[in-house]
Structures are given as structure tokens and as C-alpha cells.
């Protein structure tokens, strides 16, 4: 039975990561970064790498920390709280999961950011149709909406016969003006780019997508929690009609409901991370439940955050919009809730209408 609590080590890890993010990624810096050309905060990413949290589940003899996806999920919560503009989900989760499944020693040991070149909306439960052809050690084709593609050192590209690694700089990467500018997309074109096959078949891709969706739930949890906290703090101090707006039941009851949903999000996100960590056969169901639930909770938390802040929450100079954009993009990422519910129909035998 999965352990849904946080260990002492995980609690310490969280404190360390939060301290770093509070120091190096305050929201006004994150906001300013969204208007710059650089697709990531490279200095922050380097600090996280130096801390060892970008290769947590990588065995020590492969240059990693020898931890598991459970600890990785705790870091993801903190990344979500800070809407940090670093390729954590894409590089330290999806990329690392693919390389671990492929057991690609060379790339794991290199510590370079390897990012999966698939549309960010890719459904981890459905069959994947490659849009890139492999031949003679090269790749040709195009992939749209690759998250953190511009921040990547290496792209991991699914083709019909397996997963290929290419130097990111060798591909043509066109930045996309993204809804979430803290995790930007790009459209990638491969025109006979030299490539090395790191895994045969689609098992590595499958594992990476499922693991990524499992850990994304923790990122969504962290974001939801931050939105709830900042909203609760705000409604205690905002006075209208001579009393704090947080004394009105119209707001109190919605916040109580949101808190209830966040406590549930914690349980399902921990279950999904735990299943990923132990290779539990329940992983596909755990992921479907976690994504269907946490996507909705994160979006609701961010939407309530905007609404309950009133006018200030609708302005550019308040962080609420950063959370809203991250939350809505994350809900569409790696299978929207509807896709995960559709997957459950098969996984738990609740077939559709004839």
C-alpha cells in the first residue's frame, strides 16, 4: 500500500528547494523573465543542478542522486509553487525518465537537459503517431508545441522504430508565443539532422509520458496550494463595507471547498508519485486519477485566486496571472482531464455507450 505522507528527508529537501526558489525566483523576477527572449532562467537551472535535484532518480553510478520519483515529486511541488521558469518537468522528469528507461549511460552521466520532442498535449495512455522519420542515422520531419524545446541541450525524438537523441542546436526551433511564458513551447523541424537511437520501440516513450503525467500532478498540487494560501492571506486584509472580505460566507465557503479539494489533490498526487517510484502496476490508473483531479483543482485554485483578488488580480503586475496561465496550460499538458477519464474507461472497465 502506497505511503502517502512525506518522509523527513523529503521535508528537508522541500525546505532547501523552497529557500533557493524564494531567493532566486521571486515572482517579480519570474514575471520580468516572461518578457525576455531567454526561454529559461539559466542561472536558476544551474543552481538546481548543483543542488542535485535535477537528477534525483538517476542512480549514483550514473551521476545522479540515487533517490526516487517520490523525492522528485516534492521538488515538482516547489517548482509549481514558484512557477519557476526552468525545464524541470520536461528535463528532470520526462527526459530523465526516458533516459532511465533506455538506460542511456552517456546522456544520463552528461547531466545535459534532454527534452522529449513531442507535442506537450500528448496523451500518455493513447497510441503515439510519430511525425518524424528516421533513416541513415538522421531524422526528418517536424514536431509542434514542444515544451521547453528551446531550453533543451538534447532532444529525444520518437520515430517509428524507437527513440532518437539529437543535438538540440542541430534542429530548427521556432519559438512559440505561449499561453504559459514560464514554460515556453517551440515548433521543431528536423531536416536530415544526425541522430543516435537510444531506445528501440516505444516503451521508453510510454514510461516517460506516464511518469511525467504522474509528477505533473505534484506540480499542480504545489501551484494550487500557493494560490489558496495567497488568496486566504489577501481576503483577510482586504476591507470592503467595513469588514474583511474574507468574513463573507460567499468567499469563505468557496475557500473551504478549495482547501478540501487540495487535501484530496495531495493524496492522489502522492499516490501517483509513489506508484511511479515503485513501478506499481496501478500506475496507469493512479496517473489517470491524479491528472483528472489535480488538473481541475489547479485551474480552479488559480481562477479563484484571480477572482477573489478582484481588480488587482486582473492586472499584469500581480502574480495571479502567472499561476492561471501555468495552471491552464498544465491542464492541457500530457492529456487533458477528459483524455485521462477516457483512459479510465478502459483501465477500470467502464466502457462507453454502444
Partner 1 sequence: MSTAPPDAAALRRRVEEFLAEHDPAAMEPLEFLRARFDAGLAWVHYPEGLGGLGAPRHLQPEVDRAFAGAGAPSNQPERNGIGLGMAAPTILAFGTEEQKRRFLRPLWTGEEVWCQLFSEPGAGSDLAALGTRAVRDGDHWIVNGQKVWTSMAHEARWAILVTRTDPDVPKHRGMTYFVCDMTAPGVEVRPLRQITGEAEFNEVFLTDVRVPDEHRLGEVGQGWRVSTATLMNERVAIGGQAVPREGGMIGVVAELWRERPELRTPGLHDEVLRLWVEAEAARLTGRRLRQQLTAGQPGPEGSAAKLAFADLNQRISGLELELLGEEGLRYDDWTMRRPAEVDFTRRSPGYRYLRAKGNSIEGGTSEILRNIIAERVLGLPGEIRVDKDVPWKDLPK
User: What is the contact surface with partner 1 in residues (CB under 8 A)?
Assistant: 1, 3-5, 232, 235-236, 243-244, 246-247, 249, 251-253, 255-257, 259-260, 263-268, 270-271, 288-289, 292-293, 341-342, 344-345, 348-354
Give the residue with the Cβ less far from partner 1, 197 or 341: 341
Query: Cβ 244 to partner 1, closest distance in Å?
Result: 5
Contact 16, 56 (CB under 8 A): no
Location of C-alpha cell 523541424:
189
Give the residue with the Cβ less far from partner 1, 178 or 261: 261
Mapped onto helix, strand or coil, the DSSP state of residue 111 is: coil
Give the residue with the Cβ less far from partner 1, 184 or 309: 309
**Opening angle at CA 45, ends 42 and 51, nearest 5:** 145
Query: Cβ 171 to partner 1, closest distance in Å?
Result: 38
Query: Cβ 212 to partner 1, closest distance in Å?
Result: 19
Torsion from C-alpha of 215, 218, 219, 220, nearest 10 degrees: 120
Query: Cβ 226 to partner 1, closest distance in Å?
Result: 14
Give the residue with the Cβ less far from partner 1, 39 or 313: 313
Dihedral over Cα of 59, 63, 69, 74: its sign: positive
Contact 135, 200 (CB under 8 A): no
Query: Cβ 150 to partner 1, closest distance in Å?
Result: 34
Query: Cβ 21 to partner 1, closest distance in Å?
Result: 24
Query: How many H helices and E strands in the chain?
Result: 11, 10
> Which residues does residue 167 pair with via DSSP β-bridges, in sequence order?
154
Give the residue with the Cβ less far from partner 1, 86 or 235: 235
CA distance 298 to 295: 5
Neighbours of 342 (CB within 10 A): 18
Residue ranges of alpha helices (H) inside 83-202 are 96-102, 105-110
Give the residue with the Cβ less far from partner 1, 177 or 281: 281
Amino acid at each position: 500500500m502506497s505511503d502517502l505522507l512525506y518522509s523527513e528527508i523529503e521535508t528537508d529537501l522541500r525546505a532547501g528547494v523552497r529557500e533557493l526558489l524564494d531567493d532566486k525566483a521571486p515572482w517579480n523576477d519570474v514575471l520580468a523573465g516572461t518578457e525576455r527572449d531567454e526561454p529559461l532562467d539559466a542561472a536558476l537551472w544551474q543552481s538546481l543542478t548543483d543542488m542535485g535535484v535535477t537528477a534525483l532518480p538517476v542512480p549514483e553510478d550514473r551521476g545522479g542522486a540515487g533517490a526516487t520519483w517520490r523525492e522528485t515529486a516534492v521538488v515538482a511541488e516547489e517548482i509549481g509553487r514558484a512557477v519557476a521558469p526552468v525545464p524541470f518537468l520536461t528535463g528532470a522528469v520526462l527526459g530523465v525518465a526516458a533516459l532511465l528507461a533506455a538506460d542511456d549511460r552517456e546522456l544520463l552521466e552528461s547531466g545535459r537537459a534532454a527534452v522529449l520532442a513531442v507535442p506537450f498535449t500528448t496523451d500518455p495512455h493513447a497510441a503515439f503517431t510519430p511525425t518524424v522519420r528516421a533513416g541513415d542515422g538522421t531524422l526528418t520531419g517536424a514536431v509542434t508545441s514542444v515544451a521547453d524545446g528551446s531550453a533543451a541541450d538534447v532532444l529525444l525524438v520518437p520515430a517509428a522504430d524507437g527513440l532518437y537523441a539529437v543535438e538540440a542546436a542541430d534542429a530548427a526551433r521556432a519559438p512559440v508565443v505561449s499561453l504559459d511564458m514560464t514554460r515556453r513551447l517551440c515548433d521543431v523541424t528536423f531536416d536530415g539532422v544526425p541522430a543516435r537511437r537510444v531506445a528501440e520501440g516505444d516503451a521508453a516513450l510510454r514510461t516517460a509520458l506516464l511518469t511525467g503525467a504522474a509528477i505533473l500532478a505534484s506540480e499542480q498540487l504545489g501551484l494550487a496550494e500557493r494560490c489558496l494560501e495567497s488568496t486566504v492571506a489577501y481576503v483577510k486584509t482586504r476591507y470592503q463595507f467595513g469588514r474583511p472580505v474574507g468574513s463573507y460566507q460567499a468567499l469563505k465557503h468557496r475557500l473551504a471547498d478549495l482547501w478540501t479539494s487540495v487535501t484530496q489533490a495531495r493524496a492522489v498526487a502522492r499516490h501517483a508519485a509513489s506508484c511511479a517510484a515503485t513501478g506499481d502496476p496501478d500506475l496507469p490508473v493512479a496517473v489517470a486519477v491524479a491528472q483528472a483531479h489535480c488538473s481541475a483543482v489547479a485551474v480552479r485554485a488559480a481562477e479563484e485566486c484571480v477572482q477573489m483578488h478582484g481588480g488587482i488580480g486582473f492586472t499584469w503586475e500581480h502574480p495571479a496571472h502567472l499561476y492561471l496561465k501555468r495552471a491552464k496550460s498544465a491542464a492541457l499538458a500530457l492529456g487533458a482531464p477528459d483524455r485521462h477519464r477516457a483512459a479510465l474507461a478502459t483501465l477500470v472497465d467502464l466502457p462507453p455507450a454502444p
